[in-house]
Amino acid sequence: MDRRKMLGLAGAGALGAAAGGAVGVQIFDGPPPARANDPGAAEPFYGTRQAGIITPAQDRLHFVAFDVITDKKAEVVELLQKWTAAAARMTEGKDAGTIGAVGGQPEAAPDDTGEALGLPPSGLTLTVGFGPTFFRTAEGKDRFGIADKRPEALADLPKFAKDTLQPGISGGDICVQACAHDPQVAVHAVRNLARIGFGVVSVRWSQLGFGRTSSTSRTQATARNLFGFKDGTANLKAEDTALLDEQLWVRAGDGPEWMTGGSYMVTRKIRMLIETWDRTSLGEQEAIIGRNKGEGAALGSAKEFDEPVFDGETIAMDAHVRLAHQKFNDGARLLRRGYNFVDGSDGLGRLDAGLFFIAYMRDPRKQFVPIQTRLSRQDALNEYIRHVSSGLFACPPGVSGVDDSWGRGLFV
């Protein structure tokens, strides 16, 4: 019962996306093939890793953080099972439920909301994570008897210099990162998960994004952030298998067994003061970033992927590219997967725009925390940015098959 087949459509939309068709249980493990020429195709849902981490970054994002509003463990476990089944269906391009948007009895509410009818799978990935408050509430309560399963690596992030975080759009018990090549498909997925979770979870905050500022595969060109610079040149890539084992994936012995094969996610909503930036000279912009704007090469180098030369001060001591580089951070690296955002305007005559930063890593205490500690104190870019939201989530390994479900390792 593929969404398109059910309706007898060949795929709607001006993109004329090639049909992905209904797919069976595909197993995802390791760098996937480039699907750049088929934005309608499906990404495999089941596998040893969760999709949506090293999957070549799709064009659009809808990120949602939920608060769990029940204290009953059984309700949470049941919801995670329902969500997993719905996620598997939606990533294949099917309705969220078996009845669908237009099936069943007219006196019943549909088990799919319908706005993705006729749209292909569009590379949808749904990646789940659990925040610190899922294990123990901010008030210290162990609601679900899993406080002892909280990994040490999921330590609350420290307050960084210049943080201006808004609690209402930070944190959350459970997050889902929905990425797709069509925003309507990503929105449909999040909206149906929220619908299924009614009474058990409540949407705490959600964020849309576009422009995949950090490419996660060498098959992708580096996209640009709203400062107009290429972003993600030095990102970890899906093809860096050995580096990913060292920097991205949680290994056996790193912490609780249920996280082995998973990864930790940090989100930061970074408001850019783009009106100020736009009145800054090209030379100063390039000095602040440490790269030139056209090619994206490090200052003093010729090409985007040339290794930056940090001797001397061609790249300033407070340039972003220097402070963020692994050479000055004990080799620590991140797999970034951020998106540009514009949330309208701010009531003060300015666009409310910036970067929704997402990064995956093996241990935030050794990677994001020291890097951001340094950046928050010294980065010349700080004059033009404000961190307004923050999230930290433990993303378990993939769902192995139809008998497995999100967070199952946590509750056995």
Residue 406 half-sphere exposure toward CB, CA atoms < 13 A = 27
Identify which of residues 136 and 293 has a Cβ nearer to a copy of itself in the complex. 293
Are 25 and 401 spatial neighbours (Cβ–Cβ below 8 Å)?
Answer: yes
Are 213 and 51 spatial neighbours (Cβ–Cβ below 8 Å)?
Answer: no
232: left (phi over 0), alpha (psi -120 to 50) or beta: left
Give the shortest CB-172-to-a copy of itself separation in angstroms.
Answer: 11
Both tokens assigned to 352: 């409310």
Both tokens assigned to 78: 């049941």
Give the shortest CB-19-to-a copy of itself separation in angstroms.
Answer: 14
Identify which of residues 224 and 366 has a Cβ nearer to a copy of itself in the complex. 224
User: CA distances (Å), 332 to each of 165, 261, 315, 323, in order?
Assistant: 25, 19, 20, 12
Give the shortest CB-29-to-a copy of itself separation in angstroms.
Answer: 21
User: CA distances (Å), 147 to each of 106, 143, 206, 364, 411, in order?
Assistant: 44, 8, 26, 19, 11
Q: What single letter denotes the amino acid at residue 107?
A: E
Tokens 């949602």: give the residue: 64
Identify which of residues 6 and 22 has a Cβ nearer to a copy of itself in the complex. 6
The CA distance from 304 to 387, in Å, is 27
Give the shortest CB-393-to-a copy of itself separation in angstroms.
Answer: 17
Give the shortest CB-72-to-a copy of itself separation in angstroms.
Answer: 18
Identify which of residues 117 and 334 has a Cβ nearer to a copy of itself in the complex. 117
Identify which of residues 104 and 370 has a Cβ nearer to a copy of itself in the complex. 104
Identify which of residues 25 and 221 has a Cβ nearer to a copy of itself in the complex. 221
Give the shortest CB-251-to-a copy of itself separation in angstroms.
Answer: 31
